[in-house]
Amino acid sequence: MNMRRTWAVTRKELLHIVRDPRSLSIALAIPLFMIILFGYALSLDVDRIPAMIYDADGSPQSRDLVSQFQGSRYFQIIGFARDYRAIERKLDSGECLMGVIIPNDYARDLLSGREAGIQLILDGSDSNTASIALGYADALVSLYGARLRAEILNQGRGGQASAPIDGRIRVWYNSELKSRNYIVPGLIAVVLMIISALLTSLTIAREWESGTMEQLLSTPVRAQELVLGKMTAFFFLGIVDTVLALVAGVFVFEVPLRGGLLLLGATSGVFLMGALCWGILLSAVARSQLLAYQMGMISSFLPAFLLSGFIYAIENMPAVILIIYLLTPSRYFVTVLKGVFLKGVGVQILWVEIVFLAAYASIVFLTATRVLKRKIA
């Protein structure tokens, strides 16, 4: 491989990028736009759940329970119903997600020492949100019930009774449980995979359509030099996109960066090489810009978004999907990003993912070179 010829191809591609300011601005603006759009719009946090309350008891004890829901940040009481039908209408119209019904014998059962029950009615159209809302309500009622039992026990003993077990919950890595801290690192991997594959998926196909490939074939440039040269030119652009995405994640969305920048930069570079070479491979196979673009979108967006662990858990998916998941490079880069951002771990923990990304980049580069040789021949 001649580095002089490789640099000549790189310089040619860089000049083409610089002389097309619209494509350059789009290549730089789209990643930042996607990060900001998805970072603000996509959220897994469920709070201020609209709820209606039907207090059929009207006792001080039932009003105390109502005050628990009113004081919780997870629920927003939008009104009080006088019967079941009012709650049913609100659920049907979508104005509320949950109805809380306190029966008329609530205080009597509570004061007599029997188990006092309440009824929760939820709109299960969105099963995920309904499950989370049910968990919040169950936790609130359980804590309230434990406090009442402790008060009754204290009154019976005439003193303070201590609980036999003092359970304390400590959340590691994302102590505030912000979904943004979980989404943004994975979103960086998804955006870089899509942009990198799309940037290079048109480069070889454009040469064939414009007729300049014949001019390249008349030069001493070899296939591996052509692939490496084109990849290097777009690699510089990918580095700029990576920096923009990282700056947006840290300073705009305030995602904690606990790991080392050197590991993050090196791993991002390896991932970019694989993604860019994948786009070149598609471009060499397709020979048509439209077909190459479509193939790049399908092979980058869908696996990166659905099968990378970015949002969706895939442990319960069919075995065929699990195999595709294991072969998706975005999956390993998402693991690296979350490990570096949130956990602050290093190579000793993430070496498997790094080795896979390096192997993927090497295999795709060699495959693209072989396919281009065959096309030229």
Which region, left, alpha or beta, applies to residue 94 given φ > 0 means left and ψ of -120 to 50 means alpha? left
Q: How many residues in the chain? A: 377
pLDDT in tens, the chain (377 residues): 778 888 888 888 888 878 877 777 777 888 888 888 877 777 667 778 899 999 988 888 889 889 999 988 889 999 998 888 888 888 888 888 999 998 888 888 877 777 888 889 888 877 777 888 888 888 888 888 878 777 766 665 555 444 444 445 566 777 777 778 888 888 888 888 888 887 788 777 777 777 777 677 677 778 788 888 888 888 888 898 889 888 888 888 888 888 889 999 999 999 999 998 898 888 888 877 788 888 888 888 778 887 787 777 676 677 777 788 888 898 899 889 988 988 888 899 899 999 999 999 999 999 988 887 776 65
pLDDT digits 0-9 by tens, 289-325: 788 888 888 888 778 887 787 777 676 677 777 788 8
What is the CATH architecture of 49-157?
A: 3-Layer(aba) Sandwich (3.40)
What is the rounded distance in angstroms from the CA atom of residue 84 to the CA atom of residue 59? 19
Per-residue H/E/C for the chain: CCHHHHHHHHHHHHHHHHCCHHHHHHHHHHHHHHHHHHHHHCCCCCCCEEEEEEECCCCHHHHHHHHHHHHCCCEEEEEECCCHHHHHHHHHHCCCCEEEEECCCHHHHHHCCCCCCCEEEECCCCHHHHHHHHHHHHHHHHHHHHHHHHHHHHHHHCCCCCCCCCCCCCCCCCCCCCHHHHHHHHHHHHHHHHHHHHHHCCHHHHHHHHCCHHHHHCCCCCHHHHHHHHHHHHHHHHHHHHHHHHHHHHHHCCCCCCCCHHHHHHHHHHHHHHHHHHHHHHHHHHCCHHHHHHHHHHHHHHHHHHCCCCCCCCCCCCHHHHHHHHCCHHHHHHHHHHHHHHHCCCHHHHHHHHHHHHHHHHHHHHHHHHHHHHHHC
Kindly report, as residue ranges, where domains of CATH 3.40.1710.10 are found in the chain. Answer: 49-157
Please give the pLDDT value at position 327: 83
Greatest Cα-to-Cα distance within the chain, rounded to the nearest angstrom: 99
The closest of 308, 55, 83 to 188, measured between CA atoms, is: 308
Instruction: Kindly report the pTM of this predicted structure.
Output: 0.76
Strands in 75-80's sheet, in edge-to-edge order, are 75-80, 49-55, 98-102, 119-122
Please give the pLDDT value at position 214: 67
